[in-house]
Amino acid sequence: MKLTNMKLSGLVAAIVLTICSFGVYAEESLEVTPPMNEDQVEGRVDEAQGKVKEATGVILDDKKMQVEGNIQKNVGKAQKGYGDIKKDIKEGK
């Protein structure tokens, strides 16, 4: 594929706009989102690790790893939910 000046400048413009939009959304999210508690953070981390482990198990055709990942993902979801409830109670919602 041969890049012409028009295609190259369009590609550069798209990349710059994408990077700028990330900055805008990050700034907005800092203003709106209150900090998470420890249970929410750990739950989200466990959920992400479980998803990765589950996907790795599928790719490697390792049923045990797939099941472990699914369990870890669901435990992370539960912990995240517990943290959400704790936060709501603390905020009086």
Instruction: Tell me the pLDDT of the chain (93 aa) as tens digits.
Output: 455 666 666 666 666 666 766 665 555 555 556 678 888 999 999 999 999 999 998 888 889 999 999 999 999 999 999 999 998 888 887
Tokens 């390792």, residue located: 62
Report the pLDDT value the prediction gives residue 26, as an integer from 0 to 100. Answer: 53
Report the pLDDT value the prediction gives residue 3, as an integer from 0 to 100. Answer: 54
Regarding whether 51 and 92 lie in a shared domain, the answer is: yes
Number of structural domains, the chain?
2
Report the pLDDT value the prediction gives residue 50, as an integer from 0 to 100. Answer: 93
Give the domain range for residue 11.
Answer: 1-33
Regarding whether 57 and 27 lie in a shared domain, the answer is: no
Q: How many residues does the chain have?
A: 93
Report the pLDDT value the prediction gives residue 43, as an integer from 0 to 100. Answer: 92
